[in-house]
């Protein structure tokens, strides 16, 4: 339902700004295209690395930025559940959230890649051995 409503807005406001921050501005069309690419990559990850076992939870490790919005929409378009991780939380709390959520993938960007690598390296149960990182900055 959310994605359908979003895509209706893309049709109406394609070239209008959808997300504006200090460093980046995305139109509805750009946001949709970027989210579609991310959804495809999430599903490719699942197909290649996970196989027949469907994983539902995708962790999002971003600052408050357009990348977080892309992550949310891309994850929903892939039919997955997103687990937002606040980069300001203590490391132990983030590790607990990763393990408890049984996330199969951590979406992040260049700004938070080091933190993502640390967290994945320390997460030990709840399926964390299968936990991978996807840097969305490599998609564009």
Integer angstrom CA distances of residue 106 from 10, 49, 99: 27, 14, 12
Does this model's pTM top 0.85? My answer is yes
Residue 68 CA neighbour count, 13 Å, CB half: 14
Contact 6, 73 (CB under 8 A): yes
Query: What are residue 17's DSSP bridge partners?
Result: 27
DSSP letter at 15?
T
Pairing of strands 132-135, 81-86: unpaired
- Mean pLDDT calculated for residue range 48-55: 62
Q: 90 pLDDT exceeds 90?
A: yes
pLDDT digits (tens, 9 = 90+) for 63-87: 999 999 999 999 999 999 999 999 9
- Mean pLDDT calculated for residue range 36-58: 80
DSSP letter at 55?
P
State the first-to-last Cα distance of the chain, in angstroms, to the nearest integer: 27
pLDDT of 40: 95
pLDDT of 3: 95
pLDDT of 123: 84
- Mean pLDDT calculated for residue range 18-40: 95
Q: Say how many C-beta atoms besides its own lie within 10 A of residue 67's C-beta.
A: 26
Q: Determine the Cα–Cα distance for residues 58 and 98; give it in Å rounded to an integer.
A: 9
pLDDT digits (tens, 9 = 90+) for 100-140: 988 889 999 999 999 999 999 988 644 445 789 999 999 86
- Complete domains list, the chain, with CATH: 2-138 (3.40.50.980)
Nearest CA to 83 out of 92, 68, 91 is that of: 68
pLDDT digits (tens, 9 = 90+) for 53-67: 566 899 999 999 999
Q: 5 pLDDT exceeds 90?
A: yes
């Amino acid at each position: 339902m959310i994605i359908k409503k979003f895509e209706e807005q893309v049709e109406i406001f394609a070239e209008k700004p959808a997300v504006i921050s200090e460093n980046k501005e995305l139109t509805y069309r750009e946001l949709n295209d970027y989210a579609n690419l991310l959804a495809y990559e999430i599903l490719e990850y699942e197909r290649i690395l996970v196989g027949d076992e469907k994983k539902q939870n995708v962790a999002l490790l971003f600052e408050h930025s357009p990348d977080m919005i892309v992550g949310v929409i891309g994850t929903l378009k892939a039919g997955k559940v997103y687990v937002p991780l606040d980069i300001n939380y203590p490391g132990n709390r983030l590790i607990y959230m990763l393990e408890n959520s049984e996330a199969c993938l951590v979406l992040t960007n260049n700004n938070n890649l080091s933190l993502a690598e640390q967290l994945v390296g320390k997460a030990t149960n709840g399926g964390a051995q299968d936990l991978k990182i996807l840097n969305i900055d490599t998609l564009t």
